[in-house]
Chains A and B, each alone.
Chain A
């Protein structure tokens, strides 16, 4: 079909164009290591409070335990998510979503698209929502969630969140069996690059590092530092003595929560966290997320007046 995209990047570009056309602010990835697009402040923090919001962006995401040295056809420790957050969720969000699949070349007349119950919960963000995983011919291509609570706060208005696993979706649309074989740029470009050309070496390096090399002592120390720093940032008076303005530092504190979360993931990949400790670490990260959410709702962007 003429409308079928030819490369990974074309799918990303089409999603960007589609959501831009439908009113989203196209944002750039957040500049910290995160486990999923949800962690981007444009989702987590902006879903709090009553200020309307619409954003879409690509977010590089890291899941150290999923590293397979670039060998597995669809498992990666570093991958891309495409994230859309609209608050309040518009009544036609399902139709908008289906339109985005059409935009990347999925022909609704030939495929079987299904919304299958899948409730979303993030224990480290203290967040949950109801929604579906979206299936295309039996394959999960997106997560569709109506946020009900974030950082322990009830969401009002409710945000609608869409998350696309880009590699998997693109492999499906492009008909590729191994992620490393997927064209990254146009196959007819002067220098055609595959996904493997771009990322295979990185997958190998990080797989080795994540599983065997990362210094657990340093990781632990950094985790504790981030935890301390997060609480310390938020303990400052809301009135900045220098400017005399109310400046709540929710976002700098949230950076520390993000760091703690990623450090926890790395520790987990190194296999040094026991089942019982695991819950305790998750609880510590959740505490930070909640503190940051509490702070954010006291800011203008968080709806404070």
Chain B
């Protein structure tokens, strides 16, 4: 069983594309091998900034012979048909076998395919993989027509076993496969040859290349943490940055540097953003949380232990932070004057062509926040003030430079503008929740402004008919609706959406988002439909409480059986109503009740009525449903013994009216007709 090693060596592959490219290489190659009948024991894919590599172990040396039978035309069919069949099957006419199928004699072709050598299959599969590789962005270079992420320089493709290694011939765009590659661009640039995957990985390491991305990131993390720890400090975790940096280096050498004292007055988030975005530095903080140093990851060792590299990086950082400090100081001047300059500047910033400027957005948010405030226990004046300041930081120099600091800078600047903590918090939190795992604000003023921001967005884009379609949601309106849903539910807010939004269409958009949200919580769509069909469905909390109670009820024995009883009653009643053309809603009279079970049902319905109505009035769905569950036994007993379609028309009608009471009571809790069996 030979092992296969492939390496595609190129100019620097963007860090963000490396992991997926390695996975794609593995899938495309192994799928191609399997499709050709070559089995293997295991496969692993690897990436560095300059190479994608694949190791396939225990590959079959050749694919098995196969034999396929194909049924052809009848014996005696026109020559043209028989010859056509032979051509299609790739066999000669005299090799056809005539067999009796019971419906006359028919020609069969037996197509024998001899097994293929692994090398032949690999050549074909690798060439096709290279030509059709799914890079998110690819390019041509020189005189070539091949597309690769950046110019491709060399290909290793070898099969190795105990007897040694053999190059599998592959040729793409003038590049032919070999058993050689290169090490680190600067530290070990010479060509060397390899004999197997183990040999490849080991020689790469000697040539200052760590093949495995996770080994590189582990090394960066532990080495950087150690350096921070040795200085009594702590490395700030940043998984995204770690993965990116591991894709920028073949031989990582973390170096810890200092941040000049001048910049330690900057908010730590500003230091981190500035260092992360532009320089790909990790932040290092002291016990108080202040960011005081950084770690940069060099791609090489040097004779001066990185001193020149670190000095250069510190210099670049100094220039970057000088900019940040300049922005911060300019911003503070405006903030301390109340931020009016920023608010004025928002008049010149377009929110959306058809929805006016950001200043107009702020006006709408202010009015809406004031309206929402009493519903969320917020002070209306404070909610309005918070909305008015919420977007001020968008005009600041810092947010212009680091858009990801929006909100956070608003929080700092609100403080410097002398605004209350509630207003400052709202400036930061009103964008939340941004994603399904993002925290939901709980402070009343933040909740009011967060709701206003999202509801204004939704009503605005609905009004100009920019609704999400299919996978397109350029204004993140689904996220906004989900944000409203989570704000309402997680803060237990009783809020009639229809007083804040206009139109059935938008309300049903909310309902669709709610279905998705509840499905993730394990509530099935029919339970949601049964709750949606009830009045008050613009009150999301009510709606969800009803759906949750119903879902819990359905999980009980009584619940499941009651639904069967209800459906039976409803079906019989509906059929009778259809047939008779009347609605049996006159009220059943116990005096026509003959059977004991019938009488018992009357009593049970009276009792249920007495319990359910007040429970529903108090929106206590659990109590209402447990009262409804008490109907299960009487309903079951009733159907067991009583014939609805009695000979006496009086009895029949009375019983149908009784069924109508079952229907009415049950439907007062949720529309049980929507439930699936």
A residues neighboring B (CB under 8 Å): 73-74, 88-91, 94, 108-117, 119, 129-132, 136-139, 146, 148, 155-158, 160, 172, 177, 274-276
A295 CB to nearest B CB, Å: 24
Pick the contact of B151: A139, A146, A177, A275 (CB < 8 A). Answer: A146
Pairs across A and B, CB under 8 Å, 27 listed: A88-B142, A88-B143, A91-B142, A91-B151, A111-B308, A111-B309, A112-B298, A112-B302, A114-B249, A115-B12, A115-B49, A116-B12, A117-B15, A117-B16, A130-B137, A130-B149, A137-B313, A137-B316, A139-B316, A148-B140, A156-B140, A158-B144, A172-B312, A172-B315, A275-B349, A275-B350, A276-B353
- Given A91-B142, A130-B139, A157-B142, 5 more pairs with CB closer than 8 A: A89-B151, A94-B11, A114-B249, A138-B317, A146-B140
A158–B186 CB distance below 8 A? no
Confirm or deny: B95 has a beta carbon within 8 angstroms of a beta carbon on chain A: no
Given known pairs A130-B137, A139-B312, A276-B350, the reply for A110 and B142 (CB within 8 Å) is no
Confirm or deny: B153 has a beta carbon within 8 angstroms of a beta carbon on chain A: yes
A138–B142 CB distance below 8 A? no
A110–B302 CB distance below 8 A? yes
* Docked complex: B131-149 residues within 8 A CB-CB of A: 137-144, 149
B530 CB to nearest A CB, Å: 48
Within 8 Å CB of A90, what residues of B?
Answer: 142
Confirm or deny: B663 has a beta carbon within 8 angstroms of a beta carbon on chain A: no
Chain B 97-118: CB-based contact to A (< 8 A → 1; otherwise 0): 0000000000000000000000
Chain B interfacial residues counted at CB < 8 A: 44
B140–A138 CB distance below 8 A? no
Confirm or deny: B14 has a beta carbon within 8 angstroms of a beta carbon on chain A: yes
Give the distance in Å from the alpha carbon of A138 to the alpha carbon of B348 in the complex: 36
Give the distance in Å from the alpha carbon of A138 to the alpha carbon of B278 in the complex: 9
Give the distance in Å from the alpha carbon of A111 to the alpha carbon of B307 in the complex: 9
Within 8 Å CB of B304, what residues of A?
Answer: 110
Most A CB contacts (10 A, CB to CB) among B14, B142, B249, B350 go to B142
B378 CB to nearest A CB, Å: 33
Within 8 Å CB of A177, what residues of B?
Answer: 315
Give the distance in Å from the alpha carbon of A94 to the alpha carbon of B150 in the complex: 11
Confirm or deny: B279 has a beta carbon within 8 angstroms of a beta carbon on chain A: yes
Give the distance in Å from the alpha carbon of A43 to the alpha carbon of B134 in the complex: 31
Most A CB contacts (10 A, CB to CB) among B139, B153, B319 go to B139
A139 CB to nearest B CB, Å: 5
Within 8 Å CB of B26, what residues of A?
Answer: none
Give the distance in Å from the alpha carbon of A130 to the alpha carbon of B316 in the complex: 25
Within 8 Å CB of A88, what residues of B?
Answer: 141-143
A113–B186 CB distance below 8 A? yes
B141–A89 CB distance below 8 A? yes
Give the distance in Å from the alpha carbon of A109 to the alpha carbon of B309 in the complex: 10
B188 CB to nearest A CB, Å: 13
Confirm or deny: B299 has a beta carbon within 8 angstroms of a beta carbon on chain A: yes
Give the distance in Å from the alpha carbon of A12 to the alpha carbon of B49 in the complex: 31
Within 8 Å CB of B313, what residues of A?
Answer: 137-138
Confirm or deny: B430 has a beta carbon within 8 angstroms of a beta carbon on chain A: no
Within 8 Å CB of B309, what residues of A?
Answer: 110-112, 137
Give the distance in Å from the alpha carbon of A83 to the alpha carbon of B508 in the complex: 58
Confirm or deny: B627 has a beta carbon within 8 angstroms of a beta carbon on chain A: no
A114–B248 CB distance below 8 A? yes
Within 8 Å CB of A116, what residues of B?
Answer: 12, 248
Pick the contact of B137: A94, A119, A138 (CB < 8 A). Answer: A119
A138–B279 CB distance below 8 A? yes
B302–A109 CB distance below 8 A? yes
Confirm or deny: B388 has a beta carbon within 8 angstroms of a beta carbon on chain A: no
Taking CB as reference atom, which chain B residue is nearest A156? B140
Within 8 Å CB of B230, what residues of A?
Answer: none
Confirm or deny: B300 has a beta carbon within 8 angstroms of a beta carbon on chain A: yes
Taking CB as reference atom, which chain A residue is nearest B300? A112
A70 CB to nearest B CB, Å: 16
Confirm or deny: B274 has a beta carbon within 8 angstroms of a beta carbon on chain A: no
Give the distance in Å from the alpha carbon of A274 to the alpha carbon of B349 in the complex: 9
Taking CB as reference atom, which chain B residue is nearest A119? B137
Confirm or deny: B303 has a beta carbon within 8 angstroms of a beta carbon on chain A: yes
Give the distance in Å from the alpha carbon of A131 to the alpha carbon of B11 in the complex: 10
Give the distance in Å from the alpha carbon of A236 to the alpha carbon of B322 in the complex: 54
Within 8 Å CB of A132, what residues of B?
Answer: 12
B252 CB to nearest A CB, Å: 11
Most A CB contacts (10 A, CB to CB) among B16, B281, B299 go to B299
Give the distance in Å from the alpha carbon of A157 to the alpha carbon of B308 in the complex: 39
Within 8 Å CB of B312, what residues of A?
Answer: 111-112, 136-139, 172
A117–B14 CB distance below 8 A? yes
Confirm or deny: B296 has a beta carbon within 8 angstroms of a beta carbon on chain A: yes
Within 8 Å CB of B16, what residues of A?
Answer: 117
B223 CB to nearest A CB, Å: 16
A131 CB to nearest B CB, Å: 8
A110–B303 CB distance below 8 A? yes
A301 CB to nearest B CB, Å: 18
Within 8 Å CB of A94, what residues of B?
Answer: 11
Within 8 Å CB of B281, what residues of A?
Answer: 138
Give the distance in Å from the alpha carbon of A137 to the alpha carbon of B297 in the complex: 10
Within 8 Å CB of A89, what residues of B?
Answer: 141-142, 151
Taking CB as reference atom, which chain A residue is nearest B255? A112
A110–B308 CB distance below 8 A? yes
* Docked complex: B327-378 residues within 8 A CB-CB of A: 348-350, 353
Within 8 Å CB of A74, what residues of B?
Answer: 319
B150–A157 CB distance below 8 A? no
Instruction: Give the 9 A-B CB pairs with smallest separation, nearest first.
Output: A137-B312, A117-B14, A115-B12, A138-B313, A130-B139, A110-B308, A88-B142, A112-B298, A139-B316
B160 CB to nearest A CB, Å: 29
Within 8 Å CB of B353, what residues of A?
Answer: 276
Taking CB as reference atom, which chain B residue is nearest A73? B319
B468 CB to nearest A CB, Å: 23
Within 8 Å CB of B308, what residues of A?
Answer: 110-111, 137
B172 CB to nearest A CB, Å: 14
A114–B142 CB distance below 8 A? no
Within 8 Å CB of B319, what residues of A?
Answer: 73-74
A217 CB to nearest B CB, Å: 21
A129–B139 CB distance below 8 A? yes
Give the distance in Å from the alpha carbon of A127 to the alpha carbon of B12 in the complex: 22
Within 8 Å CB of B138, what residues of A?
Answer: 130
B433 CB to nearest A CB, Å: 28
A148–B139 CB distance below 8 A? yes
Most A CB contacts (10 A, CB to CB) among B11, B140, B353 go to B140
Give the distance in Å from the alpha carbon of A132 to the alpha carbon of B185 in the complex: 16
Within 8 Å CB of A91, what residues of B?
Answer: 142, 151, 153
A195 CB to nearest B CB, Å: 16
Give the distance in Å from the alpha carbon of A49 to the alpha carbon of B315 in the complex: 43
Pick the contact of B316: A111, A138, A155 (CB < 8 A). Answer: A138
Within 8 Å CB of B296, what residues of A?
Answer: 138
Give the distance in Å from the alpha carbon of A172 to the alpha carbon of B137 in the complex: 33
A42 CB to nearest B CB, Å: 20
Within 8 Å CB of A115, what residues of B?
Answer: 11-12, 49
Taking CB as reference atom, which chain B residue is nearest A129? B139
Give the distance in Å from the alpha carbon of A290 to the alpha carbon of B137 in the complex: 23
A158–B299 CB distance below 8 A? no
Within 8 Å CB of A148, what residues of B?
Answer: 139-140
A158–B15 CB distance below 8 A? no
Within 8 Å CB of B311, what residues of A?
Answer: 137
Give the distance in Å from the alpha carbon of A41 to the alpha carbon of B560 in the complex: 79
A181 CB to nearest B CB, Å: 14
Pick the contact of B348: A111, A119, A130, A274 (CB < 8 A). Answer: A274
Taking CB as reference atom, which chain B residue is nearest A275? B350
A274–B350 CB distance below 8 A? yes
A39 CB to nearest B CB, Å: 22
Give the distance in Å from the alpha carbon of A91 to the alpha carbon of B248 in the complex: 22
A158–B12 CB distance below 8 A? no
Most A CB contacts (10 A, CB to CB) among B14, B317, B322 go to B14
Given known pairs A130-B150, A138-B317, the reply for A114 and B350 (CB within 8 Å) is no
Taking CB as reference atom, which chain A residue is nearest B49? A115
Give the distance in Å from the alpha carbon of A279 to the alpha carbon of B348 in the complex: 16
